[in-house]
Amino acid sequence: MTKTMTMWFLLVSLSFIYAVATANTQIKITNNPADKLVAAINENRTAHKVSALTDNPGLACIALQYIKAYQGECDAVGGSDGKKPPESHFAEVFAPNCGVEASTLAPITGRFLACQTKYVHAPEAFSDILIRNQKSIDILYSKNHTQVGAAVTGTDGGSPYFWCVLFSSGKPNNTFTFESGVAKITKPGCFSGANDECSGASDWSPLNGMWVFVTSVLIAMGFALSL
Protein backbone atom coordinates (compact mmCIF):
# COMPACT_ATOMS: atom_id res chain seq x y z
CA MET A 1 0.00 0.00 0.00
CA THR A 2 2.61 2.59 1.08
CA LYS A 3 4.88 1.29 -1.64
CA THR A 4 2.22 2.01 -4.29
CA MET A 5 1.70 5.47 -2.87
CA THR A 6 5.41 6.21 -2.91
CA MET A 7 5.54 5.06 -6.54
CA TRP A 8 2.64 7.35 -7.38
CA PHE A 9 4.22 10.22 -5.62
CA LEU A 10 7.45 9.66 -7.51
CA LEU A 11 5.70 9.42 -10.85
CA VAL A 12 3.65 12.54 -10.26
CA SER A 13 6.64 14.57 -9.16
CA LEU A 14 8.71 13.27 -12.06
CA SER A 15 6.09 14.24 -14.60
CA PHE A 16 5.79 17.61 -12.91
CA ILE A 17 9.54 18.19 -13.15
CA TYR A 18 9.42 17.04 -16.76
CA ALA A 19 6.61 19.46 -17.56
CA VAL A 20 8.48 22.35 -15.95
CA ALA A 21 11.69 21.42 -17.75
CA THR A 22 10.06 21.25 -21.19
CA ALA A 23 8.12 24.45 -20.56
CA ASN A 24 11.42 26.12 -19.78
CA THR A 25 13.03 25.04 -23.00
CA GLN A 26 9.99 26.01 -25.03
CA ILE A 27 9.48 29.44 -23.52
CA LYS A 28 12.96 30.49 -24.44
CA ILE A 29 13.18 34.22 -24.05
CA THR A 30 15.45 35.43 -26.74
CA ASN A 31 17.50 38.27 -25.50
CA ASN A 32 19.59 38.69 -28.58
CA PRO A 33 20.31 42.24 -29.84
CA ALA A 34 20.64 40.94 -33.42
CA ASP A 35 17.16 39.35 -33.27
CA LYS A 36 15.84 42.62 -31.88
CA LEU A 37 17.43 44.53 -34.73
CA VAL A 38 15.65 42.32 -37.27
CA ALA A 39 12.40 42.84 -35.36
CA ALA A 40 12.87 46.62 -35.56
CA ILE A 41 13.52 46.40 -39.32
CA ASN A 42 10.48 44.23 -39.94
CA GLU A 43 8.22 46.40 -37.80
CA ASN A 44 9.32 49.45 -39.71
CA ARG A 45 8.90 47.74 -43.08
CA THR A 46 5.41 46.46 -42.32
CA ALA A 47 4.38 49.89 -40.95
CA HIS A 48 5.45 51.17 -44.35
CA LYS A 49 3.39 48.44 -46.11
CA VAL A 50 6.42 46.51 -47.37
CA SER A 51 6.67 42.78 -46.62
CA ALA A 52 8.46 41.51 -43.52
CA LEU A 53 11.68 39.63 -44.29
CA THR A 54 12.64 36.11 -43.23
CA ASP A 55 15.43 36.04 -40.69
CA ASN A 56 18.03 33.68 -42.13
CA PRO A 57 20.63 32.50 -39.57
CA GLY A 58 23.13 31.51 -42.30
CA LEU A 59 23.02 35.03 -43.72
CA ALA A 60 23.21 36.46 -40.20
CA CYS A 61 26.29 34.39 -39.38
CA ILE A 62 27.88 35.81 -42.52
CA ALA A 63 26.99 39.32 -41.28
CA LEU A 64 28.97 38.50 -38.13
CA GLN A 65 31.97 37.40 -40.22
CA TYR A 66 31.61 40.62 -42.21
CA ILE A 67 32.04 42.57 -38.98
CA LYS A 68 35.02 40.44 -37.99
CA ALA A 69 36.74 41.36 -41.25
CA TYR A 70 37.15 44.87 -39.80
CA GLN A 71 39.14 43.50 -36.86
CA GLY A 72 37.73 46.14 -34.54
CA GLU A 73 38.79 49.07 -36.72
CA CYS A 74 35.96 51.55 -36.44
CA ASP A 75 37.75 54.09 -38.66
CA ALA A 76 37.63 51.66 -41.57
CA VAL A 77 33.81 51.80 -41.61
CA GLY A 78 32.13 54.39 -43.85
CA GLY A 79 33.53 57.79 -44.73
CA SER A 80 35.37 58.67 -47.91
CA ASP A 81 38.13 56.10 -47.35
CA GLY A 82 35.75 53.47 -45.94
CA LYS A 83 36.94 49.92 -46.53
CA LYS A 84 34.86 46.96 -47.62
CA PRO A 85 35.82 43.30 -47.53
CA PRO A 86 36.33 41.90 -51.07
CA GLU A 87 33.26 40.14 -52.51
CA SER A 88 35.28 36.93 -52.87
CA HIS A 89 35.42 36.75 -49.06
CA PHE A 90 31.77 35.67 -48.96
CA ALA A 91 32.49 32.33 -50.58
CA GLU A 92 36.10 31.90 -49.52
CA VAL A 93 36.13 33.07 -45.90
CA PHE A 94 32.72 33.96 -44.45
CA ALA A 95 30.74 30.93 -45.63
CA PRO A 96 33.34 28.35 -44.50
CA ASN A 97 33.67 30.08 -41.09
CA CYS A 98 29.92 29.73 -40.63
CA GLY A 99 29.64 26.19 -41.95
CA VAL A 100 27.42 27.60 -44.70
CA GLU A 101 27.56 25.74 -48.02
CA ALA A 102 29.20 28.15 -50.46
CA SER A 103 27.01 26.80 -53.28
CA THR A 104 23.92 28.15 -51.49
CA LEU A 105 25.07 31.78 -51.32
CA ALA A 106 22.56 34.20 -52.88
CA PRO A 107 22.98 37.83 -54.05
CA ILE A 108 23.34 40.49 -51.35
CA THR A 109 20.75 43.18 -52.14
CA GLY A 110 21.69 45.62 -49.41
CA ARG A 111 23.90 46.06 -46.38
CA PHE A 112 24.05 48.31 -43.33
CA LEU A 113 27.16 48.59 -41.23
CA ALA A 114 27.88 50.94 -38.38
CA CYS A 115 30.37 51.21 -35.59
CA GLN A 116 30.61 53.41 -32.53
CA THR A 117 32.26 53.35 -29.14
CA LYS A 118 29.02 53.59 -27.16
CA TYR A 119 26.72 50.57 -26.95
CA VAL A 120 23.09 51.29 -27.79
CA HIS A 121 20.13 48.93 -27.86
CA ALA A 122 18.65 47.63 -31.09
CA PRO A 123 15.87 50.22 -31.60
CA GLU A 124 18.33 53.11 -31.20
CA ALA A 125 20.96 51.34 -33.30
CA PHE A 126 18.33 51.01 -36.01
CA SER A 127 16.86 54.52 -35.97
CA ASP A 128 19.90 56.57 -34.91
CA ILE A 129 22.96 55.00 -36.46
CA LEU A 130 21.98 52.56 -39.22
CA ILE A 131 19.30 54.65 -40.94
CA ARG A 132 20.84 58.03 -41.52
CA ASN A 133 20.12 59.20 -45.05
CA GLN A 134 17.82 58.71 -48.02
CA LYS A 135 20.03 55.94 -49.39
CA SER A 136 19.63 53.85 -46.25
CA ILE A 137 15.86 54.46 -46.29
CA ASP A 138 15.72 53.25 -49.91
CA ILE A 139 17.61 50.10 -48.94
CA LEU A 140 15.37 49.58 -45.89
CA TYR A 141 12.16 49.67 -47.95
CA SER A 142 13.52 47.91 -51.04
CA LYS A 143 11.29 45.22 -52.51
CA ASN A 144 14.37 43.44 -53.84
CA HIS A 145 14.97 41.72 -50.50
CA THR A 146 13.35 38.49 -49.38
CA GLN A 147 15.48 37.82 -46.33
CA VAL A 148 17.71 39.46 -43.78
CA GLY A 149 20.42 38.60 -41.27
CA ALA A 150 21.84 40.83 -38.54
CA ALA A 151 24.85 40.72 -36.25
CA VAL A 152 26.03 42.80 -33.31
CA THR A 153 29.44 42.64 -31.74
CA GLY A 154 31.92 44.42 -29.55
CA THR A 155 35.65 43.98 -29.93
CA ASP A 156 36.76 41.48 -27.27
CA GLY A 157 33.31 41.85 -25.74
CA GLY A 158 33.71 45.63 -25.34
CA SER A 159 33.90 48.92 -27.21
CA PRO A 160 33.86 49.66 -30.15
CA TYR A 161 30.54 48.08 -31.11
CA PHE A 162 29.58 47.01 -34.61
CA TRP A 163 26.14 46.49 -36.14
CA CYS A 164 25.76 44.76 -39.48
CA VAL A 165 22.62 43.94 -41.46
CA LEU A 166 22.75 42.01 -44.73
CA PHE A 167 19.77 41.69 -47.08
CA SER A 168 19.44 39.08 -49.80
CA SER A 169 17.06 38.18 -52.60
CA GLY A 170 17.48 34.40 -52.26
CA LYS A 171 14.79 31.90 -51.27
CA PRO A 172 14.98 31.64 -47.48
CA ASN A 173 14.51 27.86 -47.54
CA ASN A 174 17.45 26.90 -49.65
CA THR A 175 20.00 29.69 -49.49
CA PHE A 176 22.73 30.26 -46.89
CA THR A 177 22.09 26.78 -45.57
CA PHE A 178 24.31 25.15 -42.95
CA GLU A 179 26.23 22.04 -44.01
CA SER A 180 25.26 20.35 -40.76
CA GLY A 181 21.64 21.51 -40.97
CA VAL A 182 21.93 23.51 -37.77
CA ALA A 183 23.35 26.94 -37.10
CA LYS A 184 26.96 26.96 -36.04
CA ILE A 185 27.16 29.50 -33.23
CA THR A 186 30.37 31.48 -33.36
CA LYS A 187 31.36 33.64 -30.40
CA PRO A 188 32.03 36.34 -29.47
CA GLY A 189 29.22 38.27 -31.09
CA CYS A 190 25.51 37.77 -31.64
CA PHE A 191 23.69 36.94 -34.84
CA SER A 192 20.00 36.69 -35.60
CA GLY A 193 17.67 33.86 -36.53
CA ALA A 194 19.35 31.00 -34.69
CA ASN A 195 17.23 31.03 -31.50
CA ASP A 196 20.45 31.76 -29.76
CA GLU A 197 20.26 33.48 -26.44
CA CYS A 198 23.02 36.01 -26.72
CA SER A 199 22.82 38.91 -24.34
CA GLY A 200 23.87 42.53 -24.86
CA ALA A 201 27.32 43.40 -26.01
CA SER A 202 28.53 44.35 -22.55
CA ASP A 203 28.15 40.96 -20.90
CA TRP A 204 29.07 38.24 -23.34
CA SER A 205 31.54 36.74 -20.97
CA PRO A 206 29.99 34.89 -18.03
CA LEU A 207 32.64 36.53 -15.85
CA ASN A 208 31.34 39.99 -16.75
CA GLY A 209 27.87 38.79 -15.80
CA MET A 210 29.24 37.73 -12.42
CA TRP A 211 30.81 41.14 -11.91
CA VAL A 212 27.54 42.90 -12.65
CA PHE A 213 25.92 40.65 -10.07
CA VAL A 214 28.64 41.20 -7.49
CA THR A 215 28.66 44.97 -8.05
CA SER A 216 24.91 45.25 -7.68
CA VAL A 217 25.09 43.25 -4.47
CA LEU A 218 27.81 45.55 -3.16
CA ILE A 219 25.83 48.67 -4.07
CA ALA A 220 22.69 47.26 -2.48
CA MET A 221 24.68 46.44 0.65
CA GLY A 222 26.20 49.92 0.73
CA PHE A 223 22.77 51.49 0.76
CA ALA A 224 21.55 49.14 3.41
CA LEU A 225 24.47 50.04 5.70
CA SER A 226 24.12 53.79 5.36
CA LEU A 227 20.47 53.72 6.35
Give me the least distance between CB of 17 and ligand NAG, in Å please: 32
* Residue with smaller CB distance to ligand NAG, 41 or 115: 41
Q: H helices within 92-189, ranges in order? A: 95-98, 122-124, 134-140
Written as one string, the DSSP assignment of 77-104 is: SSSTT-----THHIIIIIHHHHTB-GGG
Rounded to an integer, what distance in angstroms lies between the CA atom of residue 59 and that of residue 193?
Answer: 9
Distance CA 60, CA 181 (A): 15
Phi, psi torsion values for 109, nearest 5 degrees: -100, -5
Site for ligand NAG in 15-74 (CB under 6 A): 44, 47
Please state the closest distance from residue 160 (CB atom) to ligand NAG, in A. Answer: 22
> Given the complex with ligand NAG, which of 73 and 138 has the nearer CB atom?
138
Contacts with ligand NAG by CB under 6 A: the residue count is 10
Q: Which residue in the set 30, 116, 142, 186 belongs to the binding site for ligand NAG (CB under 6 A)?
A: 142
Nearer residue to ligand NAG within complex by CB, 155 or 177 = 177
DSSP-assigned states of every residue in 170-183:
S-TTTSS-BTTSS-
Residue choice 26, 133, 134, 173 for contact with ligand NAG (CB under 6 A): 173
Task: Tell me whether residue 63 or residue 198 sits nearer to ligand NAG (CB atom).
Answer: 63
Residue of 123, 125, 104 lying closest to 59 (CA atoms): 104
For residues 129 and 185, which CB has a smaller minimum distance to ligand NAG in the complex? Answer: 129
Identify the residue among 75, 92, 138, 156 touching ligand NAG (CB under 6 A): 138
Does position 127 interact with ligand NAG (CB under 6 A)? The reply is yes
* Alpha carbons 90 and 106: distance in angstroms, whole number: 10
Beta strands 147-155 and 108-116: pairing type?
unpaired
Kindly tell me which residue out of 67, 98, 131, 198 binds ligand NAG, with binding defined by CB under 6 A: 131
Q: Interface residues with ligand NAG (CB under 6 A)?
A: 44, 47, 127, 131, 138-139, 142, 144, 171, 173
